[in-house]
Structure 1
Amino acid sequence: MPEQLEERVANLEAEVALLKNKVESNSSSIPWWEQIAGTFADNSAYDEAMRLGREYRDSLRPSSIQASDE
Structure 2
Amino acid sequence: MASKVQELETRVARLERELRDVKAQIKAGEQVPWYEQIVGVFKGDADYAEITRLGRAIRRADRRRSR
TM-score (ref. length: structure 1): 0.50
Paired with 2:30 and 2:24, the residues of 1 have a C-alpha distance of 10
The structure with the largest helix share of the pair is 2
**Higher RCO (CA 8 Å, separation ≥ 6 residues):** 1
The share of aligned pairs that are identical, in percent, is 34
Paired with 2:28 and 2:39, the residues of 1 have a C-alpha distance of 21
Determine if the alignment matches structure 1 residue 14 to structure 2 residue 17.
Answer: yes
Determine if the alignment matches structure 1 residue 4 to structure 2 residue 36.
Answer: no
TM alignment of 1:1-70, pairs within 5 A: 1-28=4-31, 30-41=32-43, 43-50=45-52, 51=54, 69=65
In the TM superposition, structure 1's runs of 4+ consecutive aligned residues that sit over 3 Å from their partners are none
Amino acid aligned to 2:14: N
Gaps of 5+ in 2: 59-64
TM-score (ref. length: structure 2): 0.51
Q: Over residues 12-55 of structure 1, what are the superposed CA-to-partner deviations in whole Å (9 max), with x where a residue is unaligned?
A: 11121122123213331x4212332343245321122453xx6x
Gaps of 5+ in 1: 59-68
